[in-house]
C-alpha cells in the first residue's frame, strides 16, 4: 500500500509521508527533501523541530538536514491533540580512510579486461600520499612504476602498453607500495582479471534496437537492428569493444550480441545498385548490400549521410524514380578502409521531416518523410495530419514507481493520460487523426512507444510528462516549471513551436527548450518532442496538474504550438481572434 499513515485519537489529524519510503537508503548527502500531506492543513506542522509550510490542500515539501547512518524524520502536527509520525531512512555513510596506517586501493580498472596488442592498460589507485607505487599483472608486467598526480594527493596512475608478443589469460592485477626489504607495505589485489585478445571475434546483434556507445559509459553512437555483424577486439566487464575501422571504435552490452564461430573475419560486403522510389509520405532508397551493415545516419542542412562500416563501394548504378520530387541525387564515396558514405541530397525547398533506416533482403533501406500537407482551413486546419500522443509512464502504485509521485499521492501516469485525452480531443477537433500509445491502464514498454508511432505512420510524436528532482537536490533552489525536449535535428522546429506556446500560455517558470537524450524522442522516425509540463512534487503544481481546467489549458497550448508549426493563422470570428 502506498500511503504511510499515522493516526492519533479520533479527533486528531493525519500525517502522510509520500517520499521517501520507509527504510529507503539514500546516497551520502547533508540535506534532502521529503514530501507528503497533513490534515488539517491549518495546523502547525513540524519535522525534527523545524516549522514546515503547508499548502492550502495540506500538501507540503520540505528540505532538511540529515545525518549519515540510520536517520529518522520525526513529524508533529499540533491540532489540539498532537499527532506524531516517524519516517525512518538510512543515509549511506562516507567511507572512512585511515591516516595512521599504509593503505592502497585499486580504483581502475573495476571490471575484467580483454585488451588487444597496441592497447594501453591504465591503472588508477588511491592510497597513502607520498609513496612509491607500482602495479603488476601476473605473467605480463612486473612492478610498473606509477606516478602520484598531483603530488601529495594519494592518487597514483600507471600505464602499460600491450605488446604484439604479450600473452595473458585471466591474469591477476595488483598494486602495492614499493618499500625496503624489511619495511611493511600496503598491497591491493584486484578481483578483476586481465587477458590479451590477439584476434578479434565476430559478434552479431541478437535483439532489436541494439545500442552502440562511443565509450563504455559514453553517449549513443548507433542503434542497430537484429542480425548485424560486428568485429569485437576487446572488452571491459560486460561491455564489448567494437572495431569499426582503423580509427573508430564503439562499445556494446555483451548481452545484446552473440559470438559467431568465425574468428576475426567478416565476409565481403559492398554496395551495389541504389534505387530511389517515390512513396506516399516521401521517398525510399534501397542500397544493395550482401548483408546488413552497421551504420550511422546524420541529417544535415539539405541532405542525409548514411555511413556504412565493413563495406566497400561498388555502386555502378543509381536508379531514380521520375515521379519522385524529393530526392535530388544520391552519391556514394569510399571515405576510409571498409567505410562508405552514401549522401542523399534533397530537392531545393524540400524539407526532411524524418527518416528510418532498416535492413531488407540484401539491402540497406532508408525511408524519407516529407512535410505532411495539412488543410490550413478552419474549422479543421490540421486535416491530413497524423499525430501520435504518448501519455508517459505506465501504472505502478508501489515502489519503485514508474514516473513521479506528488505530495497528495498523485501518480504521474494518471495525470499524463488525463492531459493526453484532452490533447487527443483538441487535435481531433482541429482535423488531425490522433493515435495514442496508451489509452488506459495498460503497461506499454519504453521502446515499444516509438515502434507504435512508426506503425501508426505518425507525422508528429508528442510525449507528455511531468517532472521531479534527484535525491538531495534543493526543491527551492531554482524555479520549477516546464521544459520542452527534442533529440533529432528534424524535431527542432516542433520543439520550438510548442515551447513558444508554453511561454505564451502557461503561468509557470520557463526551464527552456533543451536537447534531451530520451528513448521515446531518440528512436522516433518523425518530429518528436517530450514535454515536462510541471513538477509533480511541488504542492501548487500538483494541484494544477489535477485540475481539468489546467489539463485543458495544457492541451490547448500544445495544439497551439502544432498550429504554429504548420503556419496556421489564428481563427477570426465576430471581429475577435479565436483559435
At 500-522, the pLDDT tens digits run 999 999 999 999 999 999 999 99
Q: What percent of the chain has pLDDT over 90?
A: 84
**pLDDT, mean of residues 168-185:** 83
Domain with CATH 2.60.40.3500 in the chain: 274-370
**pLDDT, mean of residues 290-296:** 95
pLDDT on residue 94? 83
Categorize the per-residue pLDDT at 486 as very low, low, confident or very high, splitting at 50, 70 and 90: very high
Q: CATH for 274-370?
A: 2.60.40.3500
Instruction: Give the C-alpha separation, 460 to 529, whole Å.
Output: 9
Number of H helices, E strands in the chain: 6, 42
Higher pLDDT, 577 or 269: 269
Domain with CATH 2.30.30.40 in the chain: 201-259
Domain with CATH 3.40.630.40 in the chain: 386-565
CB proximity list for 407: less than 8 A, separation 6 or greater: 18, 35, 36, 37, 55, 59, 60, 61, 537, 539, 542
pLDDT on residue 159? 97
Categorize the per-residue pLDDT at 406 as very low, low, confident or very high, splitting at 50, 70 and 90: very high
pLDDT on residue 98? 54
Q: What is the chain's mean pLDDT, rounded? A: 92
Q: What percent of the chain has pLDDT over 70?
A: 94
**Does the domain at residues 201-259 carry the CATH identifier 2.60.40.680?**
no
Instruction: Give the C-alpha separation, 555 to 246, whole Å.
Output: 51
Categorize the per-residue pLDDT at 10 as very low, low, confident or very high, splitting at 50, 70 and 90: very low
Q: Is the pLDDT of residue 261 over 80?
A: no
How confident is the model over 193-206, as pLDDT tens digits? Answer: 999 998 899 999 99
Q: CATH for 5-91?
A: 2.60.40.10
- Whether the predicted model's global pTM rises above the 0.75 cut: yes
Please give the C-alpha separations between residue 6 and each of 13, 24, 88, 182, 366, in angstroms, as whole numbers. 9, 18, 13, 64, 60
How confident is the model over 209-255, as pLDDT tens digits? Answer: 899 999 998 889 999 999 999 999 999 999 999 999 989 999 999 99
**pLDDT, mean of residues 107-136:** 94
How confident is the model over 53-79, as pLDDT tens digits? Answer: 999 999 999 999 999 999 999 999 998
Assigned architecture for domain 386-565: 3-Layer(aba) Sandwich (3.40)
Instruction: Give the C-alpha separation, 308 to 270, whole Å.
Output: 9
pLDDT on residue 514? 97
Q: Is the pLDDT of residue 264 over 70?
A: no
Q: Is the pLDDT of residue 340 over 70?
A: yes
Please give the C-alpha separations between residue 205 and each of 112, 127, 362, in angstroms, as whole numbers. 22, 41, 17
* Sign of the torsion angle spanned by Cα atoms 77, 81, 82, 83: negative
Q: Is the pLDDT of residue 2 over 90?
A: no
Categorize the per-residue pLDDT at 263 as very low, low, confident or very high, splitting at 50, 70 and 90: low
Instruction: Give the C-alpha separation, 393 to 402, whole Å.
Output: 6
Q: Is the pLDDT of residue 184 over 90?
A: no
pLDDT on residue 188? 83
Q: Is the pLDDT of residue 300 over 80?
A: yes
Categorize the per-residue pLDDT at 1 as very low, low, confident or very high, splitting at 50, 70 and 90: very low
How confident is the model over 524-541, as pLDDT tens digits? Answer: 999 999 999 999 999 999
Q: Averaging pLDDT over each range in 95-99, 394-398, 445-449, which range is the top one?
A: 445-449
Q: Using alpha carbons, select from 407, 531, 555 the residue that is nearest to residue 466.
A: 531
pLDDT on residue 265? 75
Q: Is the pLDDT of residue 392 over 80?
A: yes
Please give the C-alpha separations between residue 139 and each of 188, 202, 230, in angstroms, as whole numbers. 17, 28, 31
Q: CATH for 104-196?
A: 2.60.40.10
3-state secondary structure 73-120: EEEEEEECEEEEEEEEEEECCCCCCCCCCCCEEEEECCCCEEECCCCE
Whether the CB-CB separation of 175 and 135 falls below 8 Å is answered with: yes
Higher pLDDT, 140 or 260: 140
- All three cell numbers of 375: 488543410
Amino acid at each position: 500500500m502506498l500511503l504511510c499513515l499515522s493516526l492519533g485519537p479520533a479527533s486528531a489529524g493525519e500525517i502522510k509521508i509520500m517520499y521517501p519510503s520507509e527504510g529507503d537508503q539514500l546516497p551520502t548527502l547533508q540535506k534532502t527533501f521529503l514530501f507528503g500531506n497533513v490534515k488539517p492543513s491549518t495546523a502547525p506542522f513540524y519535522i525534527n523541530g523545524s516549522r514546515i509550510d503547508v499548502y492550502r490542500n495540506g500538501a507540503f515539501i520540505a528540505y532538511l538536514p540529515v545525518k549519515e547512518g540510520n536517520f529518522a524524520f520525526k513529524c508533529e502536527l499540533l491540532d489540539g491533540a498532537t499527532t506524531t509520525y516517524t519516517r525512518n531512512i538510512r543515509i549511506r555513510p562516507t567511507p572512512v580512510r585511515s591516516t595512521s596506517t599504509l593503505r592502497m586501493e585499486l580504483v581502475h580498472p573495476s571490471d575484467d579486461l580483454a585488451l588487444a596488442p597496441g592497447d594501453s592498460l591504465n591503472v588508477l589507485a588511491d592510497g597513502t600520499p607520498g609513496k612509491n607505487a607500482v602495479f603488476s599483472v601476473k605473467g605480463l608486467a612486473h612492478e610498473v612504476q606509477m606516478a602520484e598526480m598531483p603530488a601529495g594527493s594519494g592518487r597514483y596512475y600507471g600505464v602499460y602498453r600491450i605488446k604484439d608478443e604479450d600473452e595473458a589469460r585471466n591474469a591477476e592485477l595488483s598494486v602495492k607500495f614499493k618499500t625496503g626489504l624489511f619495511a611493511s607495505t600496503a598491497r591491493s589485489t584486484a578481483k578483476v582479471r586481465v587477458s590479451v585478445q590477439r584476434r578479434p571475434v565476430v559478434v552479431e546483434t541478437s535483439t532489436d534496437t541494439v545500442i552502440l556507445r562511443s565509450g563504455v559509459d559514453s553517449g549513443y553512437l548507433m542503434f542497430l537492428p537484429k542480425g548485424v555483424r560486428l568485429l569485437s577486439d576487446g572488452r571491459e566487464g560486460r561491455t564489448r569493444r567494437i572495431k569499426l575501422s582503423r580509427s573508430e571504435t564503439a562499445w556494446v552490452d555483451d548481452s545484446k550480441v552473440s559470438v559467431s564461430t568465425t574468428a576475426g573475419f567478416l565476409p565481403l560486403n559492398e554496395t551495389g545498385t541504389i534505387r530511389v522510389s517515390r512513396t506516399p509520405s516521401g521517398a525510399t532508397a534501397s542500397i544493395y548490400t550482401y548483408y546488413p551493415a552497421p551504420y550511422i545516419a546524420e541529417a544535415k542542412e539539405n541532405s542525409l549521410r548514411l555511413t556504412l562500416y565493413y563495406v566497400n563501394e561498388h555502386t555502378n548504378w543509381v536508379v531514380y524514380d521520375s515521379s519522385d520530387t524529393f530526392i535530388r541525387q544520391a552519391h556514394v564515396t569510399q571515405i576510409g578502409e571498409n567505410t562508405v558514405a552514401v549522401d542523399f541530397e534533397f530537392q531545393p525547398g524540400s524539407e526532411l521531416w524524418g527518416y528510418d533506416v532498416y535492413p531488407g533482403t540484401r539491402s540497406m533501406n532508408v525511408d524519407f518523410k516529407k512535410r505532411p500537407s495539412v488543410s490550413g482551413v478552419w474549422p479543421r486546419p490540421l486535416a491530413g495530419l497524423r499525430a501520435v500522443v504518448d501519455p508517459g509512464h505506465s501504472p505502478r502504485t508501489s515502489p519503485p514507481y514508474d514516473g513521479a509521485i506528488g505530495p497528495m499521492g498523485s501518480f504521474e501516469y494518471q495525470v499524463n493520460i488525463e492531459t493526453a485525452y484532452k490533447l487527443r480531443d483538441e487535435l481531433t477537433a482541429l482535423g488531425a487523426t490522433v493515435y495514442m500509445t496508451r489509452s488506459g491502464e495498460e503497461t506499454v514498454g519504453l521502446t515499444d512507444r516509438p515502434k507504435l508511432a512508426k506503425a501508426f505512420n505518425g507525422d508528429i510524436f508528442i510525449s507528455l510528462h511531468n517532472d521531479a528532482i534527484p535525491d538531495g537536490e534543493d526543491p527551492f533552489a531554482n524555479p520549477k516549471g516546464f521544459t520542452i525536449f527534442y533529440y533529432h535535428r528534424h524535431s527542432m522546429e516542433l520543439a520550438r513551436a510548442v515551447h513558444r506556446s508554453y511561454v505564451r500560455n502557461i503561468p509557470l517558470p520557463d526551464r527552456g527548450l533543451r536537447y534531451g537524450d530520451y528513448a521515446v524522442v531518440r528512436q522516433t522516425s518523425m518530429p518528436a518532442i517530450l514535454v515536462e509540463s510541471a513538477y509533480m512534487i511541488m504542492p501548487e503544481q500538483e494541484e494544477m496538474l489535477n485540475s481539468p481546467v489546467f489539463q485543458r489549458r495544457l492541451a490547448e497550448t500544445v495544439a497551439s504550438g502544432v498550429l504554429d508549426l504548420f503556419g496556421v493563422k489564428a481563427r477570426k470570428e465576430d471581429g475577435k481572434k479565436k483559435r
